[in-house]
Amino acid sequence: MYKNAETATLEALKMQAIGITVTLHSFLQASDIEKIKKQESTIFSEILLDERWEGIAFVALYSMDGTIILHSNPALMGKKIEKITATFNNNAPYYHFVTLGTGERVFVSDSKMIIHKKPYILRVALHTYPAEAVLRTAKMHVMFMIGSAILIISGGLFSIMLLSKVEKMQDKIRELENLSMLSRVLAHEIRNPLGSIKGFAQYLTKKISDASLKEYLNIIVKESIRLERLTDELSQYANPQKFNINEINLKEVLHEISLPFVNQNKEIEFSVAADDIYVKTDADKLKQILNNIIQNAVDAVSEAREKKVTITAEKINGKIKIEIADTGAGMDENILNRAIEPFFTTKSKGSGLGLAIVKKLCDFLKIELEIKSKKGEGTKVCLRMPEYQ
C-alpha cells in the first residue's frame, strides 16, 4: 500500500510539473525573451506569489551554455550552472530530486524546448509536501502511534520549510510595491498552515504518553510560536494601527516598562531617572518603542563583563529627551549604519525588525531617533519629542 502511495505521489508531481511546463512554454513562445531579460522582469518571481501556482519552489530558464536567462529569484539571473548543459542531450523531460541550500528536497523537472529557434532548458522545481498528502492519508490506516510519529516528523519538516520561506520572504518583501500584497502573502503563506501545525502538535501532546515524542512536539509548538511572533512583527511593520493621542506621565511610563526587565534580569544593574514630565502622545506605541530599545540593551549586556542599562528622561531646549544606554559590546560603523534596516540583524535568532519598527513608529509620532555606538564601548539610543504640557 505504501509503495502504491509513493508511486501516486511521484506521478502527481510529474503531472503538476508537466502542466506548469506547458503553460510556461506557451507564454515564452509568445514573449520576447531578450526584451524580458533586458527589463530585468520579475515575471517568474510573481508566479511564486500567485495562489494559482501554489507548490512551486522556483522556476528558471537556462541557455545552452548554462546561463540563467530568467529565474524566480532575480538575483541569480546572469549566473552560470555548469551541470545543466548535459540536460540538452535529453529530448524527453528529465525528472529528479534536488536538495536546496536550505536543506529542503524538491522535485525537479528539466524540459528541453526550442523558443524562437534557440534551445533552452526550462526547470520547474516543486515542493513535495502538497503531493505527499496522498502518502500521509494512506499511512493514517496504520497503528495510531506510527501515524502520530509520522505527523510529528511531517509537522517538524513543515515548520522548517516555513522558517526557510520566512527567511526568503525577507528579500521578497523589499520588492513588494504595496502593503496590501504583503498582508495577503502573510495570511496565505504563514498564518493558516501555522495554526494547523500548532493546533495538531498541542492536541497530540495531550494524547501521547511517550516522553521522547512529546519532546519533538514541544519543539514544533515552540517554533510555531516563534513564527507567530515574527508574523506579528511583520504585520506591525507593514500596517501600523491608528494612533490614540493622550497626555501621559513619562516617569510612570518608564517605570512601568522597565519593571519587568528589572525583575527578570537580576544580574543586570538598571538605573531609571525621570522627572514628572507630561507629554501628549500614543502611550501604547511609545511603550512599544521603549520596550524594543530596552530589550536590545538587555541583549547587548547579557554577555558583557559590566552589565548596566541606564534610562533617563529630561527636558532640554524645549524638547523631551529619553536616553537608553548600555555597557554592551557596541557596534562598528558598518553595523550601526544598517541598524534600522528592515530584516538586518546580528543575532542568531531574531527577525531584524525591532529597530525598523521603532523607526517607523518614531516617524509617525514625530520623534527624532538617534543611535550612537562604538565597538567595545556600548550603545546609546536617544529619543527627542516636542514638549507638550
**51 confidence band (pLDDT: 50, 70, 90):** low
- Counting every residue written for the chain, the total comes to 389
**173 confidence band (pLDDT: 50, 70, 90):** low
388 CB neighbour count, 10 Å cutoff = 11
- Work out whether strand 68-71 and strand 56-62 pair parallel, antiparallel, or are unpaired: antiparallel
User: Under CATH, which number does the domain 2-126 receive?
Assistant: 3.30.450.20
**183 confidence band (pLDDT: 50, 70, 90):** very low
State pTM to two decimals: 0.43
What does the alpha-carbon distance between residue 313 and residue 321 come to, in Å, rounded to a whole number?
6
Task: Examine the pLDDT at 389 and tell me if it is beyond 50.
Answer: no
What does the alpha-carbon distance between residue 15 and residue 4 come to, in Å, rounded to a whole number?
16
Tell me what pLDDT residue 323 has: 92
Closest C-alpha to 133, from 55, 192, 210, 21? 55
Contacts of 3 (CB under 8 A, 6+ apart): none
Task: Examine the pLDDT at 191 and tell me if it is beyond 70.
Answer: no
What are the phi and psi torsion angles at 330 (to 5°)? Answer: 75, 180
Tell me what pLDDT residue 136 has: 60
Contacts of 357 (CB under 8 A, 6+ apart): 233, 236, 237, 288, 292
**342 confidence band (pLDDT: 50, 70, 90):** low
Tell me what pLDDT residue 189 has: 61
Average pLDDT over residues 114-143: 73
Give me the chain's average pLDDT, please. Answer: 76
User: Under CATH, which number does the domain 245-386 receive?
Assistant: 3.30.565.10
CB 154 within 8 A of CB 137: no
Task: Examine the pLDDT at 355 and tell me if it is beyond 50.
Answer: yes
Average pLDDT over residues 267-271: 89
What does the alpha-carbon distance between residue 174 and residue 20 come to, in Å, rounded to a whole number?
27
> For 130-161, what is each residue's pLDDT tens digit?
666 655 665 565 455 666 667 667 766 666 67
CB 304 within 8 A of CB 329: yes
Higher pLDDT, 15 or 153: 15
CB 297 within 8 A of CB 379: yes
CB 66 within 8 A of CB 55: no
CB 386 within 8 A of CB 319: yes
Task: Examine the pLDDT at 107 and tell me if it is beyond 80.
Answer: yes
**176 confidence band (pLDDT: 50, 70, 90):** very low
Taking 3-state DSSP, the helix, strand and coil percentages for the chain, each rounded to the nearest 5, stand at: 50, 25, 25
* DSSP for residue 189: I
